[in-house]
Structure 1
Amino acid sequence: MSFTGGAQALTVTQSAVSRHIGSLEGLIGKPLFERDPAGLKLTTAGKTLLPVVSKSLDRMEYALNGIREDGIESRPLRLHIPPTLLYQSAMPLLRDFHREHPDIRIDVVTSNATGEPRTDVDMAIVFDRPKVDEKVADLLRLVRVAPLCSPATAAAAEGRSLEQFLRENDLLHVRLEGEPRGLLWTAYADQQRLDLDTSRGMAFDTSITAVRYAQVATGVVLADIDIFAQEIAAGRLVMPYDRASADGFGYYLKTNVEDLADPAIVLLRDWIIRHFHHQRIDEPLSGE
């Protein structure tokens, strides 16, 4: 964010950098920077162009390094996976892909952001509601949630309605960035026609953390019954009521349109889609 700093990095004059930026802005017909006494700021056009330019320069660097070393070495593909999905479901996907294609390097990035991560990645599996944007979005699967808890907590459900049970136990929340704290429980209560105070209880950054707390302590977590299917089948988690619900969220694979010309990205994209297709659970779980 400094023409002077850019000039020093490129070993040219500051006026040369300024002229080249001006020429580029003239070429595209829009300013890339807001210039004011406080410094430079990227415009919307600049923010759009920056990741594309950065990625292109990275690819050029890897290709040039490979040529210098008499061998073309592929650059790592940066793949974002939400933490709960990574720990509960995606590890076999990464293992099997690496075994089948050891020449394709993958850098895995994880964050608990809802929607696309802030870091620059080549592909991103995101937890979000459906959105229309400039990227290719492949639906991997929709999320089904239900109240889950430890066996000890579930013992108190006997003879009680779902509404009574939830009123008598702490509600464990999973925070979604930019959303109200109790959004998921409120949506579930509305769908199930329950009269609940959804503001009470502890909150966690990830579903896996909230579930682990529910397993060792008290409280009821609203969690993805497919991701935690093994824990439910083994009895480490209990779904006391057969009241699963779709809350509108799902896991989507987001890819830049221009990156579909990269064979490695196409291969990984196809692998991820097929992995989730084979993992899909068609029959709903029954309550315990």
Structure 2
Amino acid sequence: MLKASELPSIKALRTFIAVANNMSFSKAAIELSVTQGAVSKQISSLEQQLGQPLFQRHMNGIELSNAGKRYLPLVAEALEIIQHATASLIQTDQVEEVLTINVTPSFASLWLIPKIESFNQQNENIRLRIKTGDGLIKKMDADTEMMIRCLPISKHYENATLLQKENLVLVASPKLLSDEGIHSIEDMQRLTLLPHVTRPHLWEQFKRQQNLSFSVKYHNVAFEHFYMSLEAVRESVGVALLPDFMVRSLIEKGQLVNPFGFSMQTSYGYYVHVPSYKLSSRKIYAFNQWLKVNLGI
């Protein structure tokens, strides 16, 4: 490997590329905003350092030597790599930090994404990367720094903090209630209930809590995620039980209706999981604080 003193300077290489691109010392000087003498001196020094000419000089101009033809594309590519790496580093330094979080699909689509711009405005030096996942908290992949999961309430999740317990509300589209003529609780037996794949017991639990004794009909399609159930509700397919904080704004806007003010607290909760060695991270602290404020904790 060459010693640092044996390597040509960036200035000399840029001069070489300018001369090669223009096939003129004078035009290269204009491009680089230096004198023609300075260009000639840089090229001569570079050729002396390399031990071979890069240009063939003729009475009517110059042309690349065989060595120059081999050297030019490699040097141009190397300088472009250096320029790209430098620009990327500067941009990363301006952003300061990247925070990668892995959240449940419904939490991401129904709550986080609609609110994420407020985090960006308050934390301009933190860039968020959002990934989705579900199920029990297991070992994080290498680039994930925080996970948010909906899990059965427990005190035994390592490095996990309960954000809030899950509270589900009954939601329907205004059109469905109007079309079905729903005016009383007894009218609910005419509504189609949307089942949940991973928690099929939710509706029976709901009926017991609300003291509903009449028979109900279930839709023949069950949905795995809350955001799927929400789309079915929007299409007036049926009614669903959805987390209150995910649909609060839609109810306030009148896009959804909780016809009888029904709600049900479940045995689940939303947990944020952060490895202990990352808890002191400024970016994680900032996101945690924003999360709590916007969840109303």
TM-score, length of structure 1 as denominator length: 0.60
Residue-by-residue CA offset, 1:180-235 (whole Å, 9 max, x unaligned): xx222122122223346678322112212212212213311112233212222232
For 1:126, the aligned partner's letter is: R
1:132 and 2:155 equivalent? yes
Residue-by-residue CA offset, 1:85-117 (whole Å, 9 max, x unaligned): 222322355323333333333221113x24437
> Which residue of structure 2 lines up, in the alignment, with residue 105 of structure 1?
127
> Which residue of structure 1 lines up, in the alignment, with residue 206 of structure 2?
188
> Which residue of structure 2 lines up, in the alignment, with residue 203 of structure 1?
222
Secondary structure of 1:76's aligned partner: strand
> Which residue of structure 2 lines up, in the alignment, with residue 254 of structure 1?
273
Q: Is the 8 A contact 1:166 1:220 kept in 2?
A: no
* Separation in 1, partners of 2:234, 2:138: 29
Max radius of gyration: which structure? 2
CA 188–118 in structure 1, closer or farther in 2 if over 3 Å, else same? farther
> Which residue of structure 1 lines up, in the alignment, with residue 239 of structure 2?
220
**Structure 2 counterpart of 1:116, from 137, 144, 168:** 137
Q: CA deviation at 1:170?
A: 1.7
* Separation in 2, partners of 1:187, 1:85: 23
**Structure 2 counterpart of 1:171, from 190, 193, 200:** 193
Q: Is the 8 A contact 1:80 1:110 kept in 2?
A: yes
For 1:190, the aligned partner's letter is: R
* Separation in 2, partners of 1:134, 1:245: 24
CA 82–71 in structure 1, closer or farther in 2 if over 3 Å, else same? closer
Q: CA deviation at 1:123?
A: 0.8
Secondary structure of 2:194's aligned partner: strand
**Structure 1 counterpart of 2:176, from 138, 144, 153:** 153
After the TM superposition, which residues 229-268 of structure 1 pair with which residues of structure 2 at under 5 Å, given as runs? 229-268=248-287
* Separation in 2, partners of 1:146, 1:205: 17
CA 134–97 in structure 1, closer or farther in 2 if over 3 Å, else same? same
After the TM superposition, which residues 27-106 of structure 1 pair with which residues of structure 2 at under 5 Å, given as runs? 76-91=98-113, 93-106=115-128
Higher percent of residues as helix = 2
For 1:206, the aligned partner's letter is: H
Secondary structure of 1:205's aligned partner: coil
CA 199–133 in structure 1, closer or farther in 2 if over 3 Å, else same? farther
> Which residue of structure 2 lines up, in the alignment, with residue 9 of structure 1?
none
Residue-by-residue CA offset, 1:210-266 (whole Å, 9 max, x unaligned): 122122133111122332122222322121112212122232212122221333323
* Separation in 2, partners of 1:107, 1:72: 14
* Separation in 2, partners of 1:117, 1:209: 25
TM-score, length of structure 2 as denominator length: 0.58
For 1:123, the aligned partner's letter is: M
Q: CA deviation at 1:276?
A: 2.0
Identity of aligned residues (%): 19
Q: Is the 8 A contact 1:135 1:255 kept in 2?
A: no
* Separation in 2, partners of 1:157, 1:117: 47
For 2:264, the aligned partner's letter is: S
For 1:124, the aligned partner's letter is: M
Structure 1: gaps spanning 5 or more residues: 1-64, 281-288
* Separation in 2, partners of 1:227, 1:262: 28
Comparing 229-238 with 134-143, which one deviates more in the overlay?
134-143
* Separation in 2, partners of 1:255, 1:196: 45
Secondary structure of 2:279's aligned partner: helix
Structure 2: gaps spanning 5 or more residues: 1-84
